[in-house]
Structure 1
């Protein structure tokens, strides 16, 4: 570690104290938490910490009610005991296929207490994907919601499985075991500590193929500093996470909110108006979402939003997919200057955060890097790009990079900076703008085209609700652009008018040759467009 990195780490400790993550009045508790993090991993350590310092504070609120930090700690210990008696222990890989609720949270904590490795599965998986990932990750037990019973047909019949949530009216197998059964039948006294943390595997979005596994064994306190440096988290307050917790942003914000002893509101499925109702009911101070959810919230009629008191809301934190300038402006007009745009990935962790002032200056920006993080741009020859306004490949130095994919591959690293897979540029004032995925770029007639630029222009049209632009094969030009458009309800516009709009604002080679109208775009749980589905879309010739 060079001197500048060391100074950054010292400053990060100051950030943790200033934001209430560590309390200088209780140094022994801070030391104990740091020690436990090297044994249990973050998910169990942070809940154990809050169970000691704020045992009666509500830890989570879901459709089944509320649990305090003491109850969360005790019930997860009972689950860990039950799993341990079934032979699940250190190094065992547990797959969890669950929506956001107490069952998912307690599964993660229990795994930490056993030293088991937890693989967080995508709730949007089809059966072949789920089975293939389970084989690749060497899964030895599955904890799952009852709605996913059908997916488990593809797994060996003798693979241990436990139900994390049971929908009303579900007919369960005769030998089914639920987490409630484990809680009822096991003691809550502390288990012997594992010798090392099991860690967890977060899956990539899988928008271009089978999701890759990105493992992390430990998360340093510096990772928490990166979150709280530029984002004002509540402290012993209330946050609502509607981003899926099986993905990086949802998981990361749950962990930070847990060490701050916050009440965390979660729901199994996102509903725009129900989210506003929960914000009003629980006096939510921070909402964590993805841009598509923010879009749905801003699209609610003004009279619907007016039914709910949203005055408690101080932060809307979003990540997971690109924020269009149009949505940035509209959401700020709707909710006020409370938007925070977090940019990162499963692999590089946090790269940068834009605060409300920066989003007002440059709508859609991802802002600046938090403490202990740094972003650089490199060209195709791996040379640094330093000129403002010049596009380059985005590389990130972070205190929490991943350890290489579970299939043995790794991201490109230059001078200690890891590729994010995106292209971007810095504005004159030093704000980072993401221009699109490196692999989304197409060459059409010898010209480089980034679809995101065309998407941002089209979505500004009042008739357009959602849009995606992809490159498809073309005999003459090599590739050509095809736009997929979802119209606002009650609006109409023809393809020629949208093409003329692009031609009037961008270079001629950026005009989509085709415009296809759809009822909705294929998106995954984190809001990212599944572009391979659109690239393979069969256009009717008749």
Structure 2
């Protein structure tokens, strides 16, 4: 089975049902299936089998169409986070060797400015109608190989033959970039089979109401996009938001009688902090899934009261696993109100996955002992794009090594106790410390630097840079923050900057980040108290 068959299968039995709602725009399953096939067949006229097709845009129906059509054309869809800087975008396009990029109007100028750095890029597909005379089509009806092409030409391509013939289910479908311990983004290769397996595990691990309406507040440019085929397989309608905005989210739940949603705890906190949103009727909501961080007992109590008809599920997964492999049920959440430590758990293993805790020799340890979380599942990635060494390091036989430290209870609850990869989770977004460190190391006034995550109530964690200035430097925190913001996405910039004489290191020269975290774990609370005292 191929990824696009999820749409085709539902269209076969429920052609008139809405597949996507985006504002006033409604797309039925029959229409989505037709557009997917035309787009896939059109792409085969401008790119070769196995080509990488990048997508750079905020949320919109065309992104969902491409994420299904590109794989059905026998090509790989490259996810590009629209919040990245041009420097970061250029690296992803260069590394993936993308031959085509589909881009919305607001990012077109950025791509034009990068064209000289992208020798593999042959065609730019404009998701919005281009200016007159800039989109060309060959006289015989075949698309030109160079220049600019209008997306509407793809969506109305004359060949509506069902796509996917000859495509291997184990071939590349999505190429999603995620930074690792080296700090350089790595492209996780996800096959059709990987994504279908992730869909199956979500439907089995956190079942929701079929034929429902699901609101998606997350960007489609990262692995949260796997929630779209999950909903399509459940014969449900995806209600797409361009971006999360608390009042619009609540209004949409009320007006469209939404039955299911994914959300981050920080989003719940923002909603509950605004009393004016209490008037919206959200009784239709039956299912809420969240991830990226655990939920506090206080936030859970308030959320259960506000969304009184909904069951809560926590998810644990990652890009390399094409989605989630562990879920904590609503029943466990209710137990967590009496035993708060339960709420720090990640959940229990999904039906079609295996999770073990392993020692440094990749041997399983007993329940209760801490070790690396390793996963065996059909949803584990093919490997990292053009990085055989990283791929070898990521697997112990059939087990994917997550790099996270955890423990398992006798009841089967998985707890994540630390992150070997030093990943920082801030407001539901991933920030990798080494990536920020590499940028800061380029600053002429910085001699040494370590980046850590520090606890913060609203965002979960915030980025903290601990810096050793070069002798004689008067470098300020504001200058550090501005330098990072110039080179990386804004959400990666340090919120806290601390200057020290030297960084703590072990005998091999490795920075003792655990010690730094302990030293600065109260920095956010201290800053808040200082701010409050000055008011």
TM-score by length of 1: 0.70
1:310 and 1:92, CA in 2 relative to 1: closer, same or farther beyond 3 A?
A: same
Aligned to 1:338: 311
Q: Deviations over 1:310-339 (max 9, x none)?
A: 1111111122x2224354454334324522
Matched, 1:512 2:520: yes
- Aligned pairs for 1:359-374 (under 5 A) are 359-360=333-334, 361=336, 362-374=342-354
1:519 and 1:89, CA in 2 relative to 1: closer, same or farther beyond 3 A?
A: farther
Aligned to 1:240: 215
Aligned to 2:259: 285
Q: Which moved more, 1:508-517 or 1:401-410?
A: 508-517
Question: Which residue of the other structure, out of 77, 83, 96, is the alignment partner of 2:37?
Answer: 77
Aligned to 2:192: 218
Question: Which residue of the other structure, out of 384, 390, 396, is the alignment partner of 2:375?
Answer: 396
1:512 and 1:98, CA in 2 relative to 1: closer, same or farther beyond 3 A?
A: same
Aligned-residue RMSD, C-alpha: 3.5
Question: Which residue of the other structure, out of 406, 416, 420, is the alignment partner of 1:424?
Answer: 406
Higher strand share: 2
CA–CA distance in structure 2, aligned partners of residues 385 and 330 of structure 1: 37
CA–CA distance in structure 2, aligned partners of residues 275 and 126 of structure 1: 28
List alignment gaps of at least 5 residues for structure 2. 136-147, 337-341, 425-451, 470-476, 478-497, 499-514, 529-535
1:95 and 1:384, CA in 2 relative to 1: closer, same or farther beyond 3 A?
A: same
Aligned to 1:55: 15
Question: Which residue of the other structure, out of 314, 319, 323, is the alignment partner of 2:294?
Answer: 323
Q: Which moved more, 1:399-408 or 1:192-201?
A: 192-201
Displacement of 1:145 in angstroms is 1.2
Contact 1:422–1:438 (CA under 8 A) maintained in structure 2: yes
Question: Which residue of the other structure, out of 232, 236, 256, is the alignment partner of 1:258?
Answer: 232
Matched, 1:271 2:245: yes
Displacement of 1:391 in angstroms is 2.5
Contact 1:113–1:194 (CA under 8 A) maintained in structure 2: no
Aligned to 2:503: none
Displacement of 1:224 in angstroms is 3.1
CA–CA distance in structure 1, aligned partners of residues 383 and 14 of structure 2: 36
Displacement of 1:308 in angstroms is 1.6
1:465 and 1:289, CA in 2 relative to 1: closer, same or farther beyond 3 A?
A: closer
1:149 and 1:185, CA in 2 relative to 1: closer, same or farther beyond 3 A?
A: same
1:173 and 1:119, CA in 2 relative to 1: closer, same or farther beyond 3 A?
A: farther
Count of aligned pairs between the two proteins: 428
CA–CA distance in structure 2, aligned partners of residues 127 and 469 of structure 1: 22
CA–CA distance in structure 1, aligned partners of residues 279 and 259 of structure 2: 18
Matched, 1:377 2:357: yes
Displacement of 1:473 in angstroms is 6.9
Is the partner of 1:363 in helix, strand or coil? helix
Matched, 1:177 2:179: no
1:315 and 1:513, CA in 2 relative to 1: closer, same or farther beyond 3 A?
A: closer
CA–CA distance in structure 2, aligned partners of residues 47 and 117 of structure 1: 18
Contact 2:219–2:243 (CA under 8 A) maintained in structure 1: no
Q: Deviations over 1:371-418 (max 9, x none)?
A: 121221123454433142x33221112221111101222243336322
Aligned to 1:307: 279
Matched, 1:116 2:75: yes
1:78 and 1:418, CA in 2 relative to 1: closer, same or farther beyond 3 A?
A: closer
Aligned to 1:161: 124
Q: Which moved more, 1:175-184 or 1:267-276?
A: 175-184
Q: Deviations over 1:500-537 (max 9, x none)?
A: xxxxxxx99935287268999xxxxxxxxxxxxxxxxx
List alignment gaps of at least 5 residues for structure 1. 1-36, 443-450, 476-481, 483-494, 496-506, 521-542
Contact 1:120–1:200 (CA under 8 A) maintained in structure 2: no
Contact 2:79–2:177 (CA under 8 A) maintained in structure 1: no
1:472 and 1:382, CA in 2 relative to 1: closer, same or farther beyond 3 A?
A: farther
1:112 and 1:202, CA in 2 relative to 1: closer, same or farther beyond 3 A?
A: closer
CA–CA distance in structure 1, aligned partners of residues 306 and 97 of structure 2: 47
Displacement of 1:440 in angstroms is 3.0
Is the partner of 1:297 in helix, strand or coil? helix
Displacement of 1:59 in angstroms is 0.5
Contact 1:318–1:341 (CA under 8 A) maintained in structure 2: yes
Contact 1:214–1:346 (CA under 8 A) maintained in structure 2: yes
Is the partner of 2:346 in helix, strand or coil? coil
Aligned to 1:468: 462
Q: Deviations over 1:468-520 (max 9, x none)?
A: 37584799xxxxxx9xxxxxxxxxxxx9xxxxxxxxxxx99935287268999
Displacement of 1:75 in angstroms is 2.1
Question: Which residue of the other structure, out of 80, 90, 96, is the alignment partner of 2:55?
Answer: 96
Question: Which residue of the other structure, out of 270, 274, 279, is the alignment partner of 1:296?
Answer: 270
Q: Deviations over 1:1-32 (max 9, x none)?
A: xxxxxxxxxxxxxxxxxxxxxxxxxxxxxxxx
Displacement of 1:189 in angstroms is 4.4
Question: Which residue of the other structure, out of 100, 107, 127, is the alignment partner of 2:66?
Answer: 107
